[in-house]
Amino acid sequence: MSGTFIGQLNDAIAKKRDALKVNLHQSGKRIDSEFRAAVLEHWHSPLPPRRNTNKRPAYAIDGSSRRANLTNGSTVFVAQALIMGEDLNEPVTDIEILPGTVRAQTMDRFADLMRQSLEIGLAREFAEKIPQGSILYLDGALYGTLPQLYPLRAEGIPEDRDFAEILLRDYRRLFELCESRSLQLISIAKTNRQALFSKVLQRQLNRREIQEISDSALFDELTERQVGYSTPVLLGTYSFSEGSATVVIENEGVKEEPAIVSFFVRLDDLDDALRIDLPASCIGRNDRIGDLDVMLLDYETVTPVVDMLQSDYGGVQVYNALAYVTDLEVRLTKQKMYEIYLPMVAEVLGEELRIDRSERRFVE
């Protein structure tokens, strides 16, 4: 076998062209005419006219994390989060080292929860300080996180580092503050692989067999990438159905927290559809997670939220001006991790921190 990587890749693409195209649009192949019509019925275009209302104070929170595997099997984790907006720029950083005995899957969950804990910790702290009625933008899908907050306990994880428990406590306090201080808590997910709306709509159609078709596939392939937004879904115990998720809702009292409103919006033609999650209290509803499974709402209930998102939209590359700047500012690069943070840790600890060979070859 000879030739270049590019040449061989081109040959492989040509050889597998038909199979690749099928996989690329596999979701679309499984959408029949009835399902297609239902999806389009729940996509509302154009966007509602902009209202001439006074802009509320707005803040955005985002986070980032990196890990470094050391030759002795230990792993160094660094996470940081940032809140920005209205003369506010407040960072927070954390570090942990876990022994090599911790399982890879636990490591992954630990890293993710560590970053989220910093983000929601900042949100909870400043929800008490920012002006009443402010907008607080979060990164990610709010509802998808809640069922995952079962305890993080495993060999090698310090007892005081159960970030799932810390996160759950901070989320509950944050929701309480949003209700009492009329804060608009808007969570923006830039990417989405879930099949939430897809499954809800198939249930509405009384489908006996529910297919796994991602929401991104629905709104990317069927709406011709035109501006608009989907009918909002009110989420209660929908994803708290079995296993460890039940521990969260039953033992931690999550069922008493506000139900979550979720919908998709495309703010300009050809742009990606964003998933938006927010507590029901932010649209004036008192529904609690434990009150219902899932239900569709009138699309006009989220018109004020769409208006807020339009006012902060900066174009195809800037989905939300404030959140975009915060994301750029907080991003932790591999270069910064290896060239600044790790030497700092080594100096303070008085230890040599040698990176695992598999990673070292890319940074030396």
Evaluate whether 218 touches 197 at the Cβ level (below 8 Å).
yes
For 56, which DSSP code?
Answer: P
N-terminal to C-terminal alpha carbon distance within the chain: 31
pLDDT at 182 over 90: yes
Asked if residue 342 belongs to a domain, the reply is no
> Between residues 93 and 362, which one has the greater pLDDT?
93
pLDDT at 285 over 90: yes
pTM over 0.85: yes
Domain containing residue 298: 58-330
Asked if residue 263 belongs to a domain, the reply is yes
pLDDT of residue 360: 59
pLDDT, tens digit, 9 for 90 and up, residues 287-339? 999 999 999 999 999 999 999 999 889 888 888 999 999 999 999 999 999 99
Q: How many whole angstroms separate alpha carbon 337 and alpha carbon 113?
A: 19
Per the document, the length of the chain is: 364
Asked if residue 187 belongs to a domain, the reply is yes
Of 40, 84, 79, 43, whose CA–CA distance to 61 is shortest? 84
Evaluate whether 349 touches 81 at the Cβ level (below 8 Å).
no
233: three-class secondary structure by DSSP: strand
pLDDT, tens digit, 9 for 90 and up, residues 117-166? 999 999 999 999 999 999 999 999 999 899 989 988 888 898 889 999 99
Asked if residue 244 belongs to a domain, the reply is yes
pLDDT of residue 60: 97
pLDDT of residue 53: 63
pLDDT of residue 18: 86
Of 16-25, 168-177, 192-201, the one with minimum mean pLDDT is 16-25
Please, how many CA atoms are within 13 Å of residue 78, restricted to the half-sphere of its CB?
Answer: 18
DSSP lists the bridge partners of residue 98 as: 75
Give Cα 62 distance to the centre of its chain: 10
pLDDT, tens digit, 9 for 90 and up, residues 223-270? 989 999 999 999 999 988 777 788 888 877 899 999 999 999 999 999
pLDDT of residue 358: 67
Mean pLDDT of the 203-221 span: 86
Q: How far is CA 290 from each of CA 29, 164, 189, 201, 253, rounded to the nearest angstrom?
A: 36, 20, 24, 21, 9
pLDDT of residue 54: 61
Asked if residue 52 belongs to a domain, the reply is no
Of 1-5, 317-321, 338-342, the one with minimum mean pLDDT is 1-5
pLDDT, tens digit, 9 for 90 and up, residues 41-82? 999 999 988 876 667 899 999 999 999 999 999 999 999 999
Asked if residue 97 belongs to a domain, the reply is yes
Asked if residue 98 belongs to a domain, the reply is yes
Q: Which amino acid is at 271?
A: D
pLDDT of residue 27: 56
Asked if residue 3 belongs to a domain, the reply is no
Mean pLDDT of the 3-22 span: 88
- Total domains in the chain come to 1
